[in-house]
Structures are given as C-alpha cells and as structure tokens.
Structure 1
C-alpha cells in the first residue's frame, strides 16, 4: 500500500515490512573505497553510520560475481570476507538507528579484465561500451563483451540470488536490484545494447524478461518485502538508448507487479513527465523518486528540498537524494530545519582516497556548534 498523501519528507513511511522514520532516502553512490577483493572497509562503516538519520540508506552498488565488477575498488557481496565487511557497515548503521538496503549491481559490458581479475565482461550482445573505462592503470578502451548464453543467464540470475542472501546474512534490511544507469540489467532493456534474437531480446516482452526473472528469483530468495528494484527510464548514461520507453517500462511494471516487491526506485526521475505519471499509476507499492535537476543529473545545490517536495506532489512515496549526502552527513536535519547546506569540496577526492578527506570529514551541525 502506498503513501500517496504524503506532504512532507519528514512524515514516517513504510517499505515492505520496514517502518522508516522519514521519507528521505540516501541514494546509492559508488565511492570506490573498498579494499582489493571488494571487501568493505572500516571507514565505510563510519561513512554510512554518519548518514543514518536518512529514513533509508541504499548502500552503494556491490557486485554479485567477479565478472560483474565495474571499476576499481568497488565492493562485492559474493564471498565471506565481503559479507564480514558489510556486516561491520550494517552494524554501525543499526547502532546509529538507521535502516539499510544493499544495492546489487552487475556491470555487464561496463567492466574490464584489469578490474575483473582477468575476466572478459559479459553482456546481452557483443557491443562494446563507448568511451572506454577507468582501470588501475588509467583510462582504457572497453573490450567487446562476450554474449551471455542461456546457461550464462541462469548462472547470472543465481549469482544475484546468492548475493541477496549474502546481503541479508550481512545484516542488511533488504536489497535493491540495480536495473538502471547502463549496467547489465539495463542493457537487456535497451535497444542500443540488446540485439538478441532469442527469447531475451527483440520485442518489449523479450527485453523485460531477464529483469523480471532476476527480480522474481531474488524476491523468492529473501522475500519480496526485502526486495526493491531501480530503473532509469530517461537516462542515456553509458551508451544506453531506449527506442520505446513509453511502452517498455509499463510492460516491465506489469511483469513485476505480481511479485509484490517492496518498492520501485526511479533514478533521474522527471517527475513532471507523463511517463512518470503512468509509472506511478501502474506501480502498486512504494515508489522512490530520485529527482532529476532538469538537465539529466540529480544534483541540487539547495540540498534537494524543492525537488523532493515536487516529487512527493507528483506521487512519490519517498525521495532519494545522492550528491547532497556526500557533503552533508546530517542532510535530513539540515533540510528539516532549513540549515545551510555544505557544498562538495573541490579539493577532496570524490572517488577513492586513502584517508577521511572528502569522505568522513564533512562537518555536521552539531560539530559546527561545538566548535
């Protein structure tokens, strides 16, 4: 049941069986801070615990397999060391009163052997990522990916379900299946990346099939009330092109609706668009909008409050913000009280880093007052 009468970010909300203190979601953002081997680090636990006043944290994309890795220093969720690392993170968030879902992301063609332990990336079709990719030795041309066989698809689906079970074992409240922003599941949806002529390509029904199968399998593994899905109908990042979003995404929602997922998360949401209105009308449970600033990027110098209010008015149940959380660990309190919003510092790393600079050293209101 949705909460479409919400008028404020600071009303309580419910996702699946989970009660949330407010409707502000910290969107998943890769910060490239894991150890080699994809193990979350102690500073990652500190980072997420600092932001636990969000109603829900969706933790950064984590790979379900070695071949699914995208960029250097991305976390994984497919072995015991990674599970132990994530358990420290979820424990710190819970101790701070927060709730956390873990996003599961397979990169598909967004990968490189230098990032994947020597493995060639895989994809719906053998079409290389344009523009290249970052590796430990610099920017490199992306390889032509290997086309997934039917057996590979079944194995990849099983990797997602195993990763979901690992996330719950690591203490996460749930998982978000990543089908947005040009990664593997989004590649199945897009005509620019899916040229298959079997049951997983071609028609709208064929292109939505694998996404629906993965979502159904994950929900069966950990419970639909613990499972969300992220899509990006209007985002052309990473060489993605949709010929027919007005037909494809309603068809995807029709395929997903019987599963009973906890939520649908729309990234780069154009909340004033007819497509958003259609998806809101069709989706039977909670809808999270990650609102676009109007230029295709969800960045809001005011902290995102005006965009959040517009999203709630348009029918979103919760609102996900990303970049404002980077520089404002207490973003919920700043938005609630109208306090100033910290800008992201240009002298600190946005991705990667070896210390707290640009990661856990942004001040809270309490720290400023104490000083």
Structure 2
C-alpha cells in the first residue's frame, strides 16, 4: 500500500514524501520591489522537509498584485531575491514550485505603485472588502480587460514562469482558484463577456486552458501545474455550471503531461472523485475541512488512492517539520493566525521544531 511517506515521481523529479506545503499568502515581501527577504529564505528553508513546497501567491505583473507586501516574479530584482530562497530549499534536499497568482478584481487602487483600478474579465465589482495597508476597504469596480489585454496577461504569466525557472524553482503552479483572475474567468457572475473569453462554458474555460498551455510550452509541461477550486465561493465567485466547466478543462489539459493538478475542495467535495477519474496525471488534494484544518487523518486519502499528494496549509505555519511530526504521530502546534499576515519574524520563522529534532532555523541563510 502506498503511504504519505513514500517517495513519488513528479515530472521527472523524485519527492521525498507525498506531503505538500500548500500556498499561503504571508504578506512579508518587504524587499525592494516586493521581493523576498532573508526572513523569507529562513521560512521556506525551515519547511524543506515537505515533499513539495508551493510558495505563497506571487504576482506575474504589477497589476496582478492584490494585497500589500506580496512578492512578484516580473523583474530581475525579484528573480535574484527568489534565488536565495530556492538555493536554501535545495541545499536541504527540498523541492519548491512558485505559485503564480494574478488577483484580478480582488485588489484595491492603493496597492499599486501608481493608483489604478484592478482588472477583471468584466467590470463587475466583487461584494465585500479587501485588506490594504490602510485596513479593510471595499472592493472597487475593475477595468475590463480588452481582448488584447487578455492575450498580454497570458504573456505575463509566461514571462513570470520563465523568471521562476531562472530563479531556480523546480516549476510553477498556476493559481486558478479562490476567486482570483483565472477563476474569475470561469465564473458566471464575474465573467459577463460576450466574446471568445466569456459566455459559454467552453469560452469561460479558455483563459485557464490557454494560460496553462502557454506556460507549459514556455518552461515544459513537467514543470507546470494548475490549482483549481470548483464551486469555491471565495471572493464573491458564483459558478452555476462547475460540473460542466471543470471536466472541459481537464479534458483539454490531461494530455499535456503536467506535473500535477491541485484540487482545493470547498462546497462540493463529492465532485472530486469525478475529477480524479478524469485526470490521468498526479493529483494533489487540499481536502475540505469545514470548521478545521487538514490533519493527520487526511493522510488516509493517499492510502486509499483518492489522491497522490495531500497539501497542508495552516499546519505548516506552526509546524515547520510537519512531515516528521506526522510520521512520529506527534502533537501538532496550533498557529497564531493573528500573526499570519504582515508583521515581522514573529509567527513567521519563530515556530520551533519538535523537541530533540534538528533546529529548523539551521538552514537560515
């Protein structure tokens, strides 16, 4: 029987285990031009015991930034800063993918160096508020991307993917989930276009498919992955026909040989087995955990064959040596989520390893 602690081949690279660190925004890119810092290096190095690390959402362009102090991968300064991160993780035998996240309409004019409105598939304001450096503020109406701008946005993702490889990443994960730009194109409320990028299920799925194909062509399919969250209502997303849309996406991409498909479950976990059957490659699952977080009990998803890898989010914040703790059936620390975003190193690099275990900070560079 396959277990979570067995190695796995992922796009031609062997991972030490099947426990992945899920992408989590931490808003601590305080370096020049929203680049990682020495604390970022320490943070990821501490967690390099994961079979795979997927970084926090990283914007592929200036206009792709939705929150303060999130990192980018669209200029040379950022590439050089990320090189220190990847070198530290690799020095400890880890594997790390960069998550490319364009937030689309989820943002605020105050976040950009020059105040401007965020962009989206249609000029439809999301309900709710967004975190800014001045506190929570209402979402604004986004500028609709023109057809030419849609194409240039795909080019932005492609350039950022090339930058990721130049920075030493083992690959990239495209963020098509959680109500951000690619997910907005899939939705029936954020996307009200009538051109080839909107309307029918086929047209609304085109942005995700074409972006994934373009990135795979640029850096190789084995270094390209995709995250999806069917029917996830986060950031005011409505998907009236998700059970029609997502099989279309998987059918279009399954033959490319992507590194993996990352499914984040939300309100329709019963749909996951259908996606599992439709996908012939490796499947990473971030399981639905209403009222809780992914825990040791979810390793059974690998034992049963429901997933090839399981991704853990908050548990990796407070447990930098999470795979070792899971193997030892040791107690898990609980993260202080009041320190999850922004702030200094407290609640970021200060969580210790198990008593008697190697100091996770030893990899700090």
Scaled to the shorter chain, the TM-score interval is over 0.9
TM-score (norm 1): 0.93
Q: Which moved more, 1:309-318 or 1:188-197?
A: 309-318
User: Which runs of structure 2 are paired with 1:82-97 in the superposition (5 Å)?
Assistant: 82-97=78-93
Q: 1:310 to 1:269 in 2, by over 3 A?
A: farther
Residue aligning to 1:351: 341
Q: 1:312 to 1:164 in 2, by over 3 A?
A: farther
SS of alignment partner, residue 323 of structure 2: helix
Distance (Å, rounded) in 2 between the aligned partners of 1:212 and 1:248: 11
Q: Which moved more, 1:147-156 or 1:254-263?
A: 254-263
Spell out, residue by residue over 1:272-297, the C-alpha distance to the aligned partner (whole angstroms, 9 max, x if none): 61x111100110110000111135x6
2:237 alignment partner, one of 219, 223, 240: 240
Distance (Å, rounded) in 1 between the aligned partners of 2:185 and 2:201: 10
SS of alignment partner, residue 239 of structure 1: coil
Q: Give the CA deviation at 1:315.
A: 2.0
Q: Give the CA deviation at 1:258.
A: 2.8
Distance (Å, rounded) in 2 between the aligned partners of 1:191 and 1:272: 20
Q: 1:276 to 1:314 in 2, by over 3 A?
A: farther
Gaps of at least 5 residues in structure 2 are 360-365
Q: 1:102 to 1:312 in 2, by over 3 A?
A: farther
SS of alignment partner, residue 75 of structure 1: coil
Q: Does 1:181 align with 2:173?
A: no
2:61 alignment partner, one of 59, 65, 69: 65
TM-score (norm 2): 0.94
SS of alignment partner, residue 333 of structure 1: helix
Residue aligning to 2:333: 342
Q: Give the CA deviation at 1:97.
A: 1.2
Residue aligning to 2:286: 290
RMSD of aligned alpha carbons: 1.7
Q: Does 1:166 align with 2:156?
A: no
Q: Give the CA deviation at 1:259.
A: 2.3
Paired residues of 1:109 and 1:145 also in contact (CA < 8 A): yes
Residue aligning to 2:353: 364
Spell out, residue by residue over 1:97-148, the C-alpha distance to the aligned partner (whole angstroms, 9 max, x if none): 1100000000100111111222211100101121121111122122110111
Q: Give the CA deviation at 1:345.
A: 2.9
2:262 alignment partner, one of 257, 265, 270: 265
Q: 1:230 to 1:255 in 2, by over 3 A?
A: same
SS of alignment partner, residue 340 of structure 2: coil
Q: Give runs of ≥4 in structure 1 deviating > 3 Å.
A: 269-272, 366-370
Q: Give the CA deviation at 1:260.
A: 2.0
Paired residues of 2:231 and 2:268 also in contact (CA < 8 A): no
User: Which runs of structure 2 are paired with 1:1-371 in the superposition (5 Å)?
Assistant: 7-35=2-30, 37-117=33-113, 118-268=115-265, 273=270, 275-295=271-291, 299-300=293-294, 304-310=295-301, 312-345=303-336, 349-354=339-344, 356-366=345-355
Spell out, residue by residue over 1:70-98, the C-alpha distance to the aligned partner (whole angstroms, 9 max, x if none): 10000000001100111011111011111
Distance (Å, rounded) in 2 between the aligned partners of 1:352 and 1:83: 21
Q: Give the CA deviation at 1:149.
A: 0.7
Distance (Å, rounded) in 1 between the aligned partners of 2:127 and 2:196: 26
**Count of aligned residue pairs for this structure pair:** 357
Q: Give the CA deviation at 1:257.
A: 1.6
Paired residues of 1:68 and 1:116 also in contact (CA < 8 A): no
